[in-house]
Amino acid sequence: MALNIRQVSFYMTQRNKGLIQEAAAATAGISVRSGRRIEKGQWQQVGDRHWRTRPDGAVIAATRSLPQYKGFSMDMIFEALS
């Protein structure tokens, strides 16, 4: 399971306060196994997505409302506007 840095930091804070692994994992909202991975330094950080989960609403709206100019694509128009 991929963990974010806040979960890891919160888990380690709880452990440093003296909580056992089970209690620290429960308060951090992670599994005990993930807590053990954190302590071993084997946890996997959440990565950024490189894919879209849904179509970009701005592109859909622009393609419906802006006329299509000959020789111009929507990407060229957005690039010029930004």
| SS (HEC) of 15-28 | HHCCCCHHHHHHHH
The domain spans of the chain are 2-45
Partnered with residue 2 across adjacent β-strands are 44
How far, in whole angstroms, is CA 39 from its chain's centroid?
22
Q: Give the residue with greater pLDDT, 43 vs 6.
A: 6
Q: Tell me the whole-structure pTM to 2 decimals.
A: 0.55
3-state secondary structure of 58: helix
pLDDT in tens, 33-77: 999 999 998 887 776 767 777 777 777 776 666 565 556 677 777
pLDDT of residue 62: 67
Residue 1 has pLDDT above 60, yes or no: no
Identify the pLDDT of residue 69.
Answer: 58
Find how far residue 78's CA is from the centre of its chain: 25
> Residue 5's pLDDT is what?
87
